[in-house]
Chains A and B, each alone.
Chain A
């Protein structure tokens, strides 16, 4: 695990960017830059980061960036990787940086293809659990019960588990992280950077306007997501599953905070009734039962 002291004081995510106040994704971008350094190339499909980086003729990125269509991040990144391999360009990390819609939904075909081909790149899905850039529409990664503009009475389906879908591809590294746990996040990105092949990291990035919470609560919400077990921090390295950071102790159900503490802080769950809370609680328990199995199976 890295320590705060080891972190670069260089900033590659520059001021004057176009983030919303309290943006979780932009915290992730800053940390990713710090973890990977300046020899990184970003490939960004349509997502909040299309706006966050700011508009022509300005950019808030101090590294090269290729913007690409919504469903095409993994495929375009495959092209960059192939060009670099063919041209003998070494020591450059190609990082696809995509939202949950661009990954779990419209981009999953290209991502699955790239993973099956063993494309030598890191793919980050920063997960703000909705189509935030288009105005808070539900995605395959929106949790059960959450209000969005297309689920006005709350979503009736659960969140898709993209990390485990990616693990099923047998790629060398899959991890989950959260912007509220920067050292865990940076350690995972650095570990991924040192590996070859397809590496996938799903980062939970709370969104103040979309989840309906005050802008100063972003980090706290992320912490509660982890402490209640709504979100688990883990990594699967060469098939070996391991819970990390604050999630380690939570395999013991009694150590998890009540889910209500997480739900009550966000207006997107305001309409969730008791049965809905129970549904979510059962879903969390089932997921953690599965993590338990994964931990002991390997």
Chain B
């Protein structure tokens, strides 16, 4: 029987790890991720979860141990944040190029200095090119559902890549919400046991990750790109299948809200997507034809879906909780790149908001939309990149 519990995003990630029947967890504590690993340690010690927890001495070792575990035939899980994820960077490449379906919860947190433990996407978006699939969640329910879905996706033989399931520190990690935990048998039915074709097995000796010369290297990287393209196709399918079975569906790559007849769409990621719905409802009451969309998957980037979203609107307002220094918000860049060369192309404007945990409220989002509407009226964006609420 499914049951509804009220708990924090971190604990829900721990429950999802158990529900996915992860066999090896290797993790190192970091604020604000620590309750994930405390929860898993507690579940294992109480005998309520059957897994080995390797209490490694660093995040670099956490990912190395997950790699060893996955090659050794175990479903592997870890969780981290911010500096921990940055320290893992080398092993992120190793995991994806080894084609290992490791799933990792990333509790999004800014990087220092100065020390800052609050939310933004600078940690995970800095890892954009590591070959990891990246999901971004907007509720604790979505954290649970996405972790289960991520294993299903990553372990598909057309994919065999690792995935990050990202959610914002404190905003979700330490906030309690009701979450429906499906029946375990139904989850087991949805997610079959991990059975990779290339174990470290003494009966069938294989060498993994050996020296590879230029005449072979590129082919392996091309296979990774194909795997990402396959993942792009599978993500909406898995989302729909999960929705049919468990009642929670998130629109595949992009969750849309009141977009059908909208002139302007506010595009966000993470929990800003929830605030954006409030902003849209308020503006709709004033007769403004606005909608909002929330990008759930940053890699593989759903270019085609962005194009579909943009096709019938006059303006796209894009909010980034991250800045790529010397350029702009990375979501803004990707969206424009997706639309370049298309005939029906809306005006685009970018906003940088919520760095280092600064709140992004529906009022802020309303202001962004209103400012965009002014530029839409004159048919020209006066300032392409706008920092929100900045002391200047």
Would B210 and A79 count as touching, CB distance under 8 A? no
Q: Which residues from A are CB-within-8-Å of B72?
A: 79-84, 87, 89
A65, B210: Cβ atoms under 8 Å?
Answer: yes
Contact, CB under 8 Å: A78 / B51: no
Residue of B nearest to A57 (CB): B216
Tell yes or no: A104 within 8 A of B by CB.
Answer: no
Complex: A81 Cα to B202 Cα, angstroms = 14
Tell yes or no: B66 within 8 A of A by CB.
yes
| B277 interfacial by beta-carbon distance below 8 Å | no
The answer to whether the Cβ of A43 comes within 8 Å of any Cβ in the partner chain is: yes
Q: Which residues of A contact B65 (CB under 8 A)?
A: 75-76, 78-79, 82
The residue in chain A whose Cβ has the minimal distance to the Cβ of B72 is A83
Chain A residues whose C-beta falls within 8 Å of the C-beta of B68 in the assembled complex: 43, 66, 68, 75-83
Residue A117 CB within 8 A of the other chain: yes
A81 contacts which chain B residues (CB < 8 A)?
68, 72
Distance in angstroms between the alpha carbons of A57 and B220 in the assembled complex: 12
Given A63-B202, A85-B52, A50 and B211 touching (CB < 8 A)? Answer: yes
CB within 8 Å of B: which A73-119 residues: 74-87, 89, 92, 109-110, 112-113, 116-117
Query: Nearest Cβ in chain A — how far from B350, in angstroms?
Result: 36
User: Is B213 close to A, CB under 8 A?
Assistant: yes
The closest CB in chain A to the CB of B67 belongs to A76
Determine if A137 is an interface residue (Cβ-Cβ < 8 Å): no
Task: Give residues 56-114 of B contacting A (CB, 8 Å).
Answer: 56-58, 60-62, 64-74, 76, 90-91, 94
Residue contact A66 to B208, C-beta cutoff 8 Å:
yes
Task: State whether the Cβ of A128 lies closer than 8 Å to any Cβ in chain B.
Answer: no
CA–CA, A257 and B70, complex, Å: 50
Interface pair A56/B94, CB less than 8 Å apart: no
Q: Does B385 contact A (CB under 8 A)?
A: no
In the complex, chain B residues 254-306 whose Cβ is within 8 Å of any chain A Cβ: none
Choose from A63, A85, A86 the contact partner of B205 (Cβ within 8 Å).
A63
Q: List B residues 11-70 near A (Cβ within 8 Å).
A: 23-24, 26, 50-52, 54-58, 60-62, 64-70
In the assembled complex, B207 has its CB within 8 A of some CB on chain A: yes
Contact, CB under 8 Å: A113 / B61: yes
Given the contacts A63-B202, A109-B58, A76 and B210 also touching, CB distance less than 8 Å: no
* Cα–Cα distance between A69 and B93 once the two chains are bound (Å): 10
Distance between Cα atoms of A117 and B202 in the complex (Å): 25
Q: Which of A76, A77, A79 has the most CB of B within 10 A?
A: A79
Q: A80 contacts which chain B residues (CB < 8 A)?
A: 68-69, 71-72, 200
B129 to chain A, nearest CB (A): 17
B208 touches A87 (CB 8 A): no
A50 vs B94: C-alpha distance when bound (angstroms)? 15
Q: Is the CB of B202 within 8 A of A86?
A: no
- Chain A residues whose CB sits within 8 angstroms of the CB of B66 once the complex forms: 79
Residue B343 is within 8 A (CB to CB) of chain A in the complex: no
Q: Which residues on A sit within 8 Å (CB–CB) of B202?
A: 38-41, 63-64, 92
Q: In the complex, A57 Cα to B211 Cα: how many Å?
A: 9
CA distance A76 to B57 in the complex (A): 13
> What 1/0 flags go to B196-229 for Cβ under 8 Å of A?
0000111011111111110010000000000000
Q: Residue A246 at the B interface, CB < 8 A?
A: no
Known: A113-B56, A117-B54. A66 touches B74 (CB 8 A): no
Select which of B23, B56, B208, B210 is within 8 A of A86 by beta carbon.
B23
- How far does the alpha carbon of A79 sit from the alpha carbon of B55 in the complex, in Å? 11
Q: Is A61 located at the chain interface by the 8 A CB criterion?
A: yes
Taking CB atoms, residues of chain A closer than 8 Å to B70 are: 79, 83
Report if A78-B67 is in contact (Cβ < 8 Å); known contacts: A38-B202, A56-B210.
Answer: no
A 107-138 to B, binary, CB cutoff 8 A, 1 in contact else 0: 00110110011000000000000000000000
Cα(A236)–Cα(B141), bound, Å:
53
Let me know if A249 is at the binding interface, CB within 8 A.
no
A43 to B94, CA, bound (A): 14
Name the residue of chain B whose CB is nearest to the CB of A77: B68
- A283–chain B nearest beta-carbon distance, Å: 31
A residues in contact with B58, CB < 8 Å = 109-110, 113
Complex contact A113–B57 (CB within 8 A): yes
**1/0 per residue B170-181: CB within 8 Å of A?**
000000000000
What residues of A have a CB within 8 angstroms of the CB of B67 in the complex?
66, 68, 72, 76, 79
Cβ contacts under 8 Å, A86 to chain B: 23-24, 50-52, 74
A54 is an interface residue with CB less than 8 A from chain B: yes
With known contacts A55-B212, A56-B212, A68-B67, A83–B61 Cβ distance under 8 A: no
Given known A56-B216, A75-B68, contact A82–B205 (CB-CB < 8 A): no
B26: min CB distance to chain A, Å:
6
Residue of A41, A54, A56, A85 with most chain B CB atoms under a 10 A cut-off: A56
A79-B54, A79-B67, A80-B72 known; A65 vs B208 contact (CB < 8 Å): yes
Q: Point out the residues of chain A lying under 8 angstroms from B23, CB to CB.
A: 83, 86-87
Residues in chain B near residue A38, CB distance under 8 A: 202, 205
B64 near A66 (CB under 8 angstroms)?
no
Distance A68 CA – B69 CA, assembled complex (angstroms): 13
Interfacial chain B residues near A77, Cβ < 8 Å: 68
A71 within 8 A of B: yes
Known: A79-B65, A117-B54. Contact between A64 and B200, CB under 8 A? yes
Which residues of A sit under 8 angstroms from B51, Cβ to Cβ?
Answer: 86
Task: Check B52–A64 contact: CB distance below 8 A.
Answer: no
Q: Which residues of A contact B206 (CB under 8 A)?
A: 64
- Taking CB atoms, residues of chain A closer than 8 Å to B69 are 79-80, 82-83
B23 to A, closest residue via Cβ: A86
Please pick, from B55, B62, B204, B209, the residue contacting A66 in the complex, using a CB distance under 8 A: B209
Q: How far is the CA of A61 from the CA of B209 in the complex (A)?
A: 13
CA gap between A59 and B56 in the complex, in Å: 31
| Residue contact B73 to A78, C-beta cutoff 8 Å | no
Say whether B209 contacts A72, CB under 8 Å.
no
Can you list 17 A-B pairs, Cβ within 8 angstroms, ordered by A? A55-B210, A55-B212, A64-B200, A66-B71, A72-B60, A76-B67, A78-B68, A79-B69, A81-B72, A82-B52, A83-B69, A87-B72, A92-B202, A110-B64, A113-B58, A113-B61, A116-B57
- Which residues of B pack against A, CB within 8 Å? 23-24, 26, 50-52, 54-58, 60-62, 64-74, 76, 90-91, 94, 200-202, 204-213, 216
5 closest Cβ pairs, A-B complex = A79-B68, A83-B72, A113-B57, A75-B61, A83-B74
